Chain A
Amino acid sequence: MSAGGALRRTLEAALDVVAVLGIVLFACRPGSSVEVPLPSFEDVDPDVVRAVQEARAAVEANPESGTTWGELGDRYAAHHFLDEAIRCYARAEELDPKSDFWAYRLGWITFMNGSDAAAVAPLERALEIVGEFYGPAHDAYGQVLLRLGRIDEAAEQFTLASRLDAESPQAETGLGQIAFERGDLEAARAHLEEAIARDENHGEAHIVLARVYHALGLEDEAREHAEKSRSLPQFSDRNDWLVNPSVSPAGATARTDYGMELEQKGKFDEAAENYRIAIESNPRSAMARKRLARILVKQSRRDEAIELLRDAERQGVSTALTRDYLARLLGSKEVPEE
C-alpha cells in the first residue's frame, strides 16, 4: 500500500466519522424543528380538540414566542399528549432561555412521563436560572435524583427545598427517606415527624415513619403510623397525574388545569364545574378545592366555600393549602383581594 493510499484511506475514514457525527448531531439537535406538534385526534373529544387547536393556532400566529409554545405545551400536558408537550416545552425554552418556567415544566413532565434521567438536565437548567428561591423546584429535582439513586445530591436538594418552603412536608419526607436508606434511624424519625407536623395527612411520611419505628423496635408507634396511612385517601396527586387521569370524564389534574384556563377567560361557572369534577374524582385535590372556594367567594357564596374546605377536613384530606384558605375565610387571616 502506498503512503498516499494510506493517507487517502485515513482521510476517508475520518470523513466517515465526521459525516456520521454530523448526521447524529443534526438528528439530535435541540429544538431544531419548528413544526408544531400535531398528534392524532382520532376519537378525541371535540372540546379537547378545539382547546388544543386554539393553542396551536396561537403558536402558528406567533411561532417565535416562547410563551405560546409553552402554553401549547401546557394544553398538551393537561390532556396527556405528553410527547407533544415535551417537544413544545423544549421549543419554549429554546425561544425563552432566560425563563426558568419552561425548563422546569419540561423537566417535570419528562419525569412524569417516566424518563427519570432525561428530566435531570432541564431541571438543572431551571434551577440554574431560578437559583435558591423556589422550593418546589428543588423538591422536584430531589425526587428525580432520588429515583436515580443519587442520594447525596437528592439530600442537598431536599434540604434546600425544606428551608425555602417551611410549610412543605414533601422535602422533609424526602430527607426522612434518605436518612432511613442510610440507616440513620433517629434522623429519619426527626425528618418524618417534621413532615407530619407540616401535614398530618401526608400518607407517604406515615408509611416510611412506620418502617422507621419498626426498625427501631417501637412496634406500637410503627403500627399506629401504618394504620394512619391506611386511613388516608388512597391516591396522592402524583398518582393522579400518572395513573388516575381517567375518572370519568377526565382526571382531577386535567380538570383542574382546564378550570384554571376557563377562569382566565372569565368563565367562572364552567371553571367551578371542572373543579367539582376534579374534587369528585380525587377528594385530595387541594388546588381544585381552593380554586373552587375562591370562585364561591367571588360569587358571594362564602358559606359554601367554608363548607367546601371544612368538608376536606372532615374527610381527612385537608392540606396546608386548604387549611390556610379556610383560616383566612374564617377571619383569622386576611382574605386577599383576588
Chain B
Amino acid sequence: MCENSPPFAGMGYSFDRRSLALLALVAASGCAPGESIAPGAVFRDVTAELGLSPPEGPPPDGAYHLPEIMAGGVGLFDHDLDGDLDLLHVRAPLPGSEGASVSNRLYRQEADGRFADVTDEAGLTEPGYGQGMAIGDVENDGDPDVYIANYGPDEFYLNDGDGTFTRSTGNAGFQGSMWSTAASFFDYDGDGFLDLYVTHYVGLDPEKKCADPRDRLEYCGPWAYTGRPDTLYRNNGDRTFKDVTAEAGIVLPDHGARATGLGVLCTDFTGDGRPDIFVANDLQCDNLWVNQGDGTFTEEGILRGVATDEFGHPEASMGVTAGDADGDGILDIFVTHLWGEHNRLFLGGRGLQFDDYTVESELARYDLERTGWGCCFFDFDNDGDQDLAVANGGVRRRPPLAGAPEGMWREYVETNQLFENDGSGRFLQVGDKAGSFASNLEVSRGLAFGDIDEDGDVDMIVSSIGNNLRVFRNEAPAPGHHWLLVRALTKGRDALGAQVRVTAGDRERCSPVLPAASYLSSNDPRAHFGLGPIDAIDAIVVLWPDGERERFPGSDVDRVITVRQGEGLGP
C-alpha cells in the first residue's frame, strides 16, 4: 500500500485509500443508519426526455402568501381513451407573483412516450389558483371527467369523449369559493353514480402576516386562521350535483373551525363493504367518516385510532395513501406529517380499531427531519410487497441542507424518500438506489404513480413549488419478478373505491382502486400488483364499492386484465 503516495507518510504511518474508504464507511454508517445502498439507480429523471421542462433552478422568492407553498397536484389518467396515461398538472401562480390565477396544463402521451401540451385543444383552460384535482367518470359514459380544486372557485370539466372537455362548473351545481385542496370521486350511496368529496383548508386572511421565533417573516400555519368544513356533493345522475354535507352528517361540533383538510381517501376502511372517508387535517385530529349505509356518516377517527398520534396528540397531516403494508389483505393508512412529527402508518385490523404501527414499521427512524406531502404505496421492484415513496419539502425555515440552492428556498428544500418493504411491514430507506428521486433538493408537494411507459413497473411524477414537474422512470432490475395490472370497471367506468385482491397459492394481495390519494394528486386508476416469482394467479376477487364481492378466474401474469362488475364467477 505504500506505493500509493501516502499523504501522511511523514507522520509515522500510512493513510491510504483503503483507510479513507474505511473512514468513509464509518462516517456513512454514522450519518445514515440502515440505508440500503445498491448499485444501479431504480428511478431515473426522464422529464426532459419525455418532452417536459425540468426545473431550471429554484422558484422565484415567495411573498409569504400561504397558498403559494401549498400547490399543486399531478394526475395520471387516460383523458383521450387511447390506452396510455396522460398527465394533468394543476398549477398556481408562481411564488411572489402578483397574479391571481394561471392555467393548468394537460399533457397527452404520444405514441413514442413523449408528452405534448394539449391544454388549449382539450379545453382545460380556465385559469385559477390551482391546488388539487379529482378524476372520475361522473356520467358513466366511459370517459374520465375532471374536477379542479382551487384556492378560489373550483372548476369542473365534462369529458366529451374525444380528448376535449366542456367546462360545466355552473351547470353541474358546484358553487362556493372556499379554499379547496384535495378531492375524491366515490359512490357513497351506492346508486351507481360517482359523488364527490372536497376538503377545504382554512379561511385565509391575506393581510395576516406571521413571523418565526426570530421575528422574521414566515409562512403562517393553519393555527393563524379558522378551518373550513369539507363538502360532500351527491351526484344526481343527470350531470348535476347537490351539496349534501349537512344531511349526510359531515358536520363537526365546531362547524368545521378545526377542519383543515389537505388529504382524502374514499374506500371501505371498516369492512362493511361501504365506502368511508378518511380526511387528513393539518394540525387537527384527522377524521374517519364511517358510512352508515343510509346516506349518512358518523365521525369515528378518534374511536378507531386514526385521528392522532399514539399519545392522543393531533399532528400536521398532509398527504395520505392506503395500501396493504403488512400483506395481510387488509388496507392500511399512511399519513405524512410535519418535521418533528412522524409520518404515521396505521394498520387496519379485523377488529374495531387501527393499530399505530409507525415505530414497529421502522418508518419512525427516518422522517423527523422532513415534512412529508405526497405519498404512495406501490411495489417498485415487483417483489410482492408494497413499498412506499414520500415527497418532502419544508414549510418553514430549517438549517439548509448541504447542496441547497441559493435564495429564499435554500432553507425549505428537502429530499424525497423511497422505502423498501421487507415483506412484513417493516420499511428500510433506500439510499443511492433511489436515484435522483431521493437526491434532488426541492420543495416537493404532489406525487402520483402509475405505469406510464406500460412496462409493468410503476413510475412516479413529482410536483414542487414553482409549478415544477419531474418524471421518474422506474428502471428497477427485477429479474424473475412478475406483475399484474387490474382495471376494475363498474357501469362502464373505473370502480373508484373498489378493492382488488389477487390470490396465488396461500397468499392474497390487496390493492385499492384509489386514484385520489397522496397530496392533491391522482394516480393511475389501475390496481398494480408485484408478484415476485409467481407466474400465474389463482383468482382475482373484487370488493366493489356497492359492497358486492365478486370472483374472477385466475390467469397468467405480466399483463393488464380488465374485470367488469357482473361478469365474474360469483361471490
A interface, CB within 8 angstroms of B? 12, 15-17, 19-20, 23-24, 41, 43-45, 47-48, 78-81, 83, 112-116, 143, 146-149, 173-174, 177, 181, 203-208, 210-211, 214-215, 222-223, 226-227, 229-231, 234-236, 238-239, 242-251, 254, 281
A20 touches B23 (CB 8 A): yes
Give the chain A neighbours of B307 by CB distance below 8 A.
207
Measured in the bound complex, the distance between the Cα atoms of B339 and A47 in whole Å is: 27
Chain B count of residues within 8 A CB distance of the other chain: 59
12 contacts between A and B (CB under 8 A): A15-B13, A16-B18, A24-B27, A45-B215, A47-B215, A146-B310, A207-B313, A210-B302, A214-B353, A223-B303, A230-B258, A246-B219
CB of A261, distance to nearest CB on chain B (Å): 14
B350 within 8 Å of A (CB atoms) = no
A231 touches B253 (CB 8 A): yes
A80 touches B212 (CB 8 A): yes
**The 10 A-B residue pairs with the shortest CB-CB distance in the complex, in nearest-first order:** A45-B215, A207-B312, A204-B312, A114-B368, A214-B303, A80-B213, A149-B359, A15-B13, A44-B214, A226-B302
Give the chain A neighbours of B339 by CB distance below 8 A.
114
In-complex Cβ contact of A207 among B302, B368, B399 (8 A): B302
The verdict on A24 contacting B303 (CB below 8 Å), with A204-B312, A248-B210 known, is no
In-complex Cβ contact of B221 among A23, A173, A243 (8 A): A243
A114 touches B340 (CB 8 A): yes
Give the chain B neighbours of A143 by CB distance below 8 A.
311
A243 touches B283 (CB 8 A): yes
In-complex Cβ contact of B313 among A211, A239, A246 (8 A): A239
Give the chain A neighbours of B369 by CB distance below 8 A.
114
Measured in the bound complex, the distance between the Cα atoms of B212 and A79 in whole Å is: 8
Within 197-225 of B, Cβ neighbours of A (below 8 Å) are at 208-221, 223-224
CB of B284, distance to nearest CB on chain A (Å): 6
Give the chain B neighbours of A236 by CB distance below 8 A.
313
With both beta carbons as reference points, the residue of chain A lying nearest to B8 in the complex is identified as: A19
Measured in the bound complex, the distance between the Cα atoms of B340 and A80 in whole Å is: 13
A229 touches B23 (CB 8 A): no
A211 touches B353 (CB 8 A): yes
B312 touches A248 (CB 8 A): no
Give the chain A neighbours of B360 by CB distance below 8 A.
149
Measured in the bound complex, the distance between the Cα atoms of B1 and A204 in whole Å is: 62
Best-surrounded residue of A45, A174, A207 (most CB of chain B within 10 A): A207
A246 touches B283 (CB 8 A): no
Give the chain A neighbours of B244 by CB distance below 8 A.
none
For B312-332 the 0/1 string (1 means CB < 8 A from A) is 111010000000000000000
The verdict on A214 contacting B304 (CB below 8 Å), with A79-B213, A234-B283, A246-B396 known, is yes
B283 touches A239 (CB 8 A): yes
With both beta carbons as reference points, the residue of chain B lying nearest to A206 in the complex is identified as: B312
B569 within 8 Å of A (CB atoms) = no
Give the chain A neighbours of B221 by CB distance below 8 A.
243-244, 246
B341 within 8 Å of A (CB atoms) = yes
Measured in the bound complex, the distance between the Cα atoms of B311 and A79 in whole Å is: 27
Within 243-275 of B, Cβ neighbours of A (below 8 Å) are at 252-254, 258
B305 within 8 Å of A (CB atoms) = yes
CB of B305, distance to nearest CB on chain A (Å): 6
CB of A150, distance to nearest CB on chain B (Å): 10
Measured in the bound complex, the distance between the Cα atoms of B215 and A47 in whole Å is: 9
In-complex Cβ contact of B302 among A41, A79, A114, A229 (8 A): A229
